[in-house]
Structure 1
């Protein structure tokens, strides 16, 4: 029997499907002995000096409400970190930064603030499903830009085509790089050329750079360095410092825009935990060596997995960063990406995420996360090889 209150809910919310990533992960997690290459979470523990900073904050009774935009020490650390590292951007810690409940809240604050009924959001596809769901909740049209023919990169030419087609309604471009699920990123020149196109249009760029510290060969450059007045920069400490459970992200942008976005942030969560912010500040100030160690390990894992995948016979998208590989389904497989992922889980006891999680139309791909231990990665590759060879017989 349906609850009568359902009819009172926001109709846009009713039309949104729960995260397929979480849903599928929950489904296959019940299989005994399964090796999960599903969720995008670092397998490292939070570095000790960061944990100690959090513990010390508790002992020192720093357990009270923090300012809505976050403690000054963390906002200053974010500003200095972005200046010091490879971002080439400058933000006033007092007026241009909001500390958020993870990067997810930074994204939702931005999209919920800008989007309304009938607005158009452009997003290169495939992409993380959160962007699509937030657009739908706000009644906006989520337009996917298929990048498959361009090696999964958004080209200036294709961007201009879509901007011209939807010019009367387009309000936002979502750009995530390194990309989840492909791991593809952009060179400095590629970012510059995209910025040159965007400069000519009245549009906000939501740049999700949460994986920016996990770029292996290319130099990461924020599009905010070219479009500071049009870009909302999203980042956080979850992926770079193995702090997913601490839930500390941040949103940076033009002064007048951040002033208004802070109103929604204040209404939604007021502020995040003081202890968490103190720990995050420690990471940003003193954690450069932690990043180097983790990035080197992820790069080794990527090379290891790519070698195995080639040996097995899978084709996949060359990855520049993050800790994902986007793998094509075998050409002779007739079912959907969900069918294939479910088959792998049931027969090979290896859990992956189907490509359907990253686009409206099913993708003939599946995503693996190699942010797991070497032992688990090796065993998962052996299982995949046995499955593929057995299937060929």
Structure 2
């Protein structure tokens, strides 16, 4: 009965990141820099809060939008950190990870045939949902702007069908972010148009040389801010996302969320409350460690002649493939074969990622040192 399966679902590809990671998993002696997951444990006080919630039988459904106390804490968090103001009673939604927040947002604002502008290269999790909504992804080429998704780039792709612009910063896979001035220019370009901004700010607490600024500070009525605790508090498996949007919009999004998941895990919500209050600055020591790793890896990459843009945030380098003889997928397979090093082909991040590969530096310094040694061996042995 396979012919009865929804054709849009059948046409979706498994994420290229996971596909490549799964392909090399279990290979003896392999070093993998493929997965973008913090290598720190969830802070102890957060885990203890979750244990307490279980002991206190806080294991039932919560409000569809999430516990009010948690929504208040989330509202206070983005106010303290990013100068944003959202009413916790009707403008904050707790979701099952940032991924669900993206899903329910697109299903709320997209109609058949409308267009969504994405920077390319970009995280592969947006396009499948856009297509499931019968909308059209439009990739804006940011390769010639050092991966900066600026107003000058965006305006070239706006048409009468544009419904949404996805603004992910700091970016996966490039680590590039946007300055306050660049965000103000984008806000000025979009203000008053029938266009939403989906600002995916999941890496907002992992910015190394500047303070994160949200475009919602300048364009609140047209912006949906997506955030969460996976990266900032090393809570990927807890699946807590946060969605902030003006009430006219959030009160429609919650309908989709309600019928999708009912509510986020009650135990995870209690852990999230601890993270956003007692652990409001938990990201700082992790960020300091990532910063040192970034400097080390950047110096190693450039010393062996690789072409790479220094990331502003997140924990990725997006590196130009050092040969024209191999496409990005075959180059990454060659790294696996020759030096037992797994990285992610740039083609996983749209066609505009072809010719690049991504490495994650969310690994121990020991692992990163050995990975760089293997990459250097590959460059000196097989590229000369």
Shorter-chain TM-score: what band? over 0.9
Corresponding residue to 2:348 among 334, 341, 357: 357
Q: Could you tell me which residue of structure 2 aligns to residue 247 of structure 1?
A: 239
**1:290-346 deviation digits (Å, cap 9, x = unpaired):** 21100000000000000111122211112100000001101x341210101111112
Query: Are the counterparts in 2 of residues 121 and 142 from structure 1 also a CA contact under 8 Å?
Result: yes
1:183 aligns with 2:175: yes
Query: Are the counterparts in 2 of residues 12 and 138 from structure 1 also a CA contact under 8 Å?
Result: no
- Name the SS of the counterpart of 1:263 in structure 2: helix
Shift of 1:361: 4.5
Q: Could you tell me which residue of structure 2 aligns to residue 382 of structure 1?
A: 373
Deviates more, 1:65-74 or 1:207-216: 65-74
- Name the SS of the counterpart of 1:116 in structure 2: coil
Provide the alpha-carbon RMSD of the alignment: 1.1
1:93 aligns with 2:88: yes
**Inter-partner Cα distance in structure 2 for 1:200 and 1:359:** 30
Relative to the length of structure 2, the TM-score reads: 0.98
**1:33-65 deviation digits (Å, cap 9, x = unpaired):** 111111110000000111110011111111111
Q: Could you tell me which residue of structure 1 aligns to residue 57 of structure 2?
A: 61
1:29 aligns with 2:30: no
Q: Could you tell me which residue of structure 2 aligns to residue 158 of structure 1?
A: 153
- Once the two structures are superposed, the pairs formed by residues 207-218 of structure 1 within 5 Å of their partners are 207-218=199-210
Corresponding residue to 2:128 among 129, 133, 136: 133
Query: Are the counterparts in 2 of residues 177 and 184 from structure 1 also a CA contact under 8 Å?
Result: yes
- Once the two structures are superposed, the pairs formed by residues 1-393 of structure 1 within 5 Å of their partners are 4=1, 6-85=2-81, 87-163=82-158, 166-167=159-160, 169-330=161-322, 332-361=323-352, 363-393=354-384
Long gaps (5+) in structure 1: none
**Inter-partner Cα distance in structure 1 for 2:221 and 2:281:** 32
- Name the SS of the counterpart of 2:41 in structure 1: coil
Relative to the length of structure 1, the TM-score reads: 0.96
- Name the SS of the counterpart of 1:286 in structure 2: coil
**Inter-partner Cα distance in structure 2 for 1:190 and 1:76:** 30
Shift of 1:111: 0.8
Shift of 1:285: 0.6
Deviates more, 1:36-45 or 1:109-118: 109-118
**Inter-partner Cα distance in structure 2 for 1:305 and 1:318:** 10
**1:9-39 deviation digits (Å, cap 9, x = unpaired):** 2222222111111111100113111111111
**1:351-380 deviation digits (Å, cap 9, x = unpaired):** 111000111355110000000111111111
**Inter-partner Cα distance in structure 2 for 1:218 and 1:179:** 15
**Inter-partner Cα distance in structure 1 for 2:287 and 2:203:** 11
- Structure 1 segments, 4+ long, off by >6 Å, are none
**Inter-partner Cα distance in structure 2 for 1:184 and 1:217:** 11
Query: Are the counterparts in 1 of residues 244 and 250 from structure 2 also a CA contact under 8 Å?
Result: yes
Shift of 1:157: 2.1
**Inter-partner Cα distance in structure 1 for 2:336 and 2:111:** 40
The size of the alignment, in residue pairs, is: 384
